A and B are shown apart, each in its own frame.
Chain A
Amino acid sequence: MLNVSFWNLAIVIVNLLVLYIAMRIFLFKPVQKIIAERQEEADRQFEEAAESKSQAENMKAQYEQSLADAENEKKQVLKEARKSADVEYQRILKDAENAARQVKQDAVAEAENQKAQIIKKAEKEIADMVVDAAVKVVGEKSGAETDSALYSKFLDKAGDES
Chain B
Amino acid sequence: MNTLIAIGAGIAVLGALGAGIGIGIATGKAAEAIARQPEAEGKINKTLILGCALAEATAIYGFVIALMVIVMLK
A and B touching (Cβ–Cβ under 8 A):
yes
A residues contacting B by CB (< 8 A) are 1-2
**B68 in the interface, Cβ–Cβ < 8 Å?**
yes
A-B contact pairs, 4 of them (CB 8 A): A1-B71, A2-B68, A2-B71, A2-B72
| Chain A contacts for B68, CB-based, 8 A | 2
Residue of A nearest to B64 (CB): A2
Interface of A is mostly: loop
Give how many B residues have a beta carbon under 8 Å from the other chain's beta carbons. Answer: 3
A2–B71 CA distance with the chains assembled, in angstroms: 9
Interface flags for B38-74 (1: CB within 8 Å of A; 0: not) read 0000000000000000000000000000001001100
A1–B71 CA distance with the chains assembled, in angstroms: 10
A67–B7 CA distance with the chains assembled, in angstroms: 101
Q: Which 4 residue pairs of A and B lie closest in terms of their CB atoms, listed nearest first?
A: A2-B71, A2-B68, A2-B72, A1-B71
| Chain B contacts for A1, CB-based, 8 A | 71
Taking CB atoms and an 8 Å cut-off, the chain B residues in 16-54 that contact chain A are none
Residue of B nearest to A3 (CB): B71
A2–B65 CA distance with the chains assembled, in angstroms: 11
Residue of B nearest to A2 (CB): B71
| Chain A contacts for B71, CB-based, 8 A | 1-2
A102–B72 CA distance with the chains assembled, in angstroms: 147
A1–B68 CA distance with the chains assembled, in angstroms: 10
